[in-house]
Structure 1
Amino acid sequence: MELRHLRYFAAVAETCHFGQAAATLHVAQPVLSYAIRQLEAELDVTLFVRTTRQVSLTPAGAYLKEQAERVLAGVDDAVDGVRRIAAGRSGLVRLGLTGIAAFSHLPRIARIVKRELPDVDLDIRADMLTPGQCNALRAGAIDLGILRPPATGEDIESRVIDVEQLVLAASIDHRLAIEPVVSVADLRSESFVMYDSRDSAVNDAVVKACRAAGFVPRRAYQASGTPVLLALVAAGLGVAVLPASVRALPLDGLVVRDLADADTVEVALAWKTGVENPVVGAVADVIASAFATGSADADPRDLDAQLSAQFGDER
């Protein structure tokens, strides 16, 4: 049974009029009549009762009409789905994020992807440090990453989408909690709570800022993720210097203060070199555009050009 025959049958079954069905299908009526006869011969049943006055469905024809509508709807849905995937408008994208970015950047990302690509699902992998994200991109475990440069290892491309100031996180009863603005030099005698990864971009920025102020931070505690790190700070076990987006994680007993002379850290969109996936490319475009207007260093045209070169213009 050809799909064409099923479509022809469905048109005649809907109207019970060969002339009207032929006009709808844009075929000649003799061609349509011949196709229906072929279908009846293949099935060895009579699908229509034909008289000079009217055409009506037989019981077998009525049953086939119901089944044909279901089958044809499924075929149409499949064709539409395939085309949407090929155009980057439908599918699943696995997105990795650093601990803080899951709170500060993910809401904007999820909102704009839902609005611009409603048939794309995001599988979120949160609290992943940059080295872990790079390894996951390389292994194909995630498709895109929101991380802090530099990306580690080969075959990973990235583009900065945001730049953040470093700020001070301290317990509410800390001596510096009453100060609206703090200097890095004021932290010379403090114990620090830092990430336990040797490749943490935030740790590197903190050490750089402290050395510029004339001291090396004394690492008292280490944490594998941001929630644990902040809990240790709120408990008074030390201070932490973190990206300003940490303000998105309010915690009882914790205060965040500006650092007058601190450095900045970057947030980047990252992907594996050479991966051609129109859905991933479409999501990358949407994420880039969401932050391009909010970052002085991000030009939407540059982002689009780089992502188009990576994922192709078919998006």
Structure 2
Amino acid sequence: MELRHLRYFAAVADTCHFGRAAQRLHVAQPALSYAIRQLEAELDVSLFTRTTRQVTLTVAGEYLRAEVDRILMSVDDAVEGVRRIGQGQRGLVRLGLTGTAAFSHLPRIARLIKQELPDVALQIQADMLTPDQCAGLREGTLELGLLRPPAVGDDISLFTIDREPLVLAVSVDHRLAAEPVVSLADLRNEPFVMYSNRDSAVNSAVLRGCRHAGFAPQREHEAPGTAVLLALVAAGLGVAVVPGSVRSLPLDGLVIRELPDAGDVELALAWRNGTDNPLVDAVTHLVKTAFTPLTSEGIR
């Protein structure tokens, strides 16, 4: 049984007229009549009662009409779904996020996807450091990432969407909490809370800044992610130098102060090179359009 035969049957069943059905289908009436006879022979049943004046459905034909309507609707839905997937308009995107990007940047990105690609679902994996996101992209457990450059490995492409100043996080009772602006040199003798992953891009930026200020930070405690890191700082176990987006994550007992000489860190959209996925291409294009490149090297 061919799908074409079912469409031919549906047209005749709707019109109860072979001539009008042939016109609707843009086929010759003899070809249509032959196709219906083939279908009846295959099913070994008469689907139409034919007279010189009218064509009516038999009981079997009435039953098949309801089934064919359902079948053709499912086929049409499947075809449309496949086309939308092929055009990058439907499917699931697994997105990794670093630190506070879930609070500072995810809302805008999720809103854009909902507005422009309403049939695309997001699955979020939050508080992932750059090395873990790169591994996820490479292993296929993530399609996209929001991470701190540089990427780990040469097979990851980046598009810079933001550059954030590094700021100081201290507990409310810390001696520097009352200072509106602090310099890195003021932290020379302070215990630091840093990320446990030694490949952390933020760690690297902090180490560079401290070396430039003439000292090496005292790594007192380590944290697997931003939420734990800030909790340790709020508990008074040390200070931390972190991206400015931590302001979007208020925490009792925590104070954020400016560090003008600490430099900044980038936030970039990341994906694996050579990925043949229209959905990734569509979301990447949407984010690229929404976020103006910050440098001439924004796309790599």
Normalising by structure 1, report the TM-score.
0.90
Deviation at residue 151 of structure 1 after TM alignment: 0.9
Which secondary structure does the structure 1 equivalent of 2:167 belong to? strand
- Who is 1:230 aligned against? 230
Identity of aligned residues (%): 68
Deviation sequence 1:233-259 (CA, Å, 0-9, x none):
111111111001111111111121221
Structure 1: 4+ residue segments shifted above 4 A: none
Deviation at residue 34 of structure 1 after TM alignment: 2.1
Deviation sequence 1:154-186 (CA, Å, 0-9, x none):
322222221110011111222222222222222
Cα gap change, 1:162 to 1:272, in 2 (>3 Å): same
Tell whether the 8 Å contact from 1:179 to 1:257 is kept in structure 2 after alignment: yes
Q: How many residues align?
A: 300
Tell whether the 8 Å contact from 1:161 to 1:298 is kept in structure 2 after alignment: no
**Alignment gaps of 5+ in structure 2:** none
1:118-197 → structure 2 map (5 Å cutoff): 118-197=118-197
Q: Is 2:25 aligned against 1:41?
A: no
Q: Is 2:270 aligned against 1:270?
A: yes
- Who is 1:16 aligned against? 16
Which residue identity does 2:90 align to in structure 1? S
Rounded to whole Å, the distance in 2 between the matches of 1:140 and 1:167 is 34
Q: Is 2:286 aligned against 1:297?
A: no
- Who is 1:103 aligned against? 103
Deviation at residue 45 of structure 1 after TM alignment: 0.9
**Alignment gaps of 5+ in structure 1:** 307-315
Tell whether the 8 Å contact from 1:47 to 1:58 is kept in structure 2 after alignment: yes
Rounded to whole Å, the distance in 2 between the matches of 1:27 and 1:157 is 51
Tell whether the 8 Å contact from 2:160 to 2:294 is kept in structure 1 after alignment: no
Tell whether the 8 Å contact from 1:8 to 1:35 is kept in structure 2 after alignment: yes
Which residue identity does 2:263 align to in structure 1? D
More divergent stretch after superposition (222-231 vs 148-157): 148-157
Deviation at residue 298 of structure 1 after TM alignment: 6.7
Which residue identity does 1:72 align to in structure 2? L
Tell whether the 8 Å contact from 1:108 to 1:290 is kept in structure 2 after alignment: no
- Who is 2:113 aligned against? 113
Rounded to whole Å, the distance in 1 between the matches of 2:184 and 2:24 is 76
CA RMSD, 1 decimal? 1.8
Cα gap change, 1:169 to 1:178, in 2 (>3 Å): same
Deviation sequence 1:248-274 (CA, Å, 0-9, x none):
111111121221222010111222222
Which residue identity does 2:108 align to in structure 1? R
Which residue identity does 1:95 align to in structure 2? L
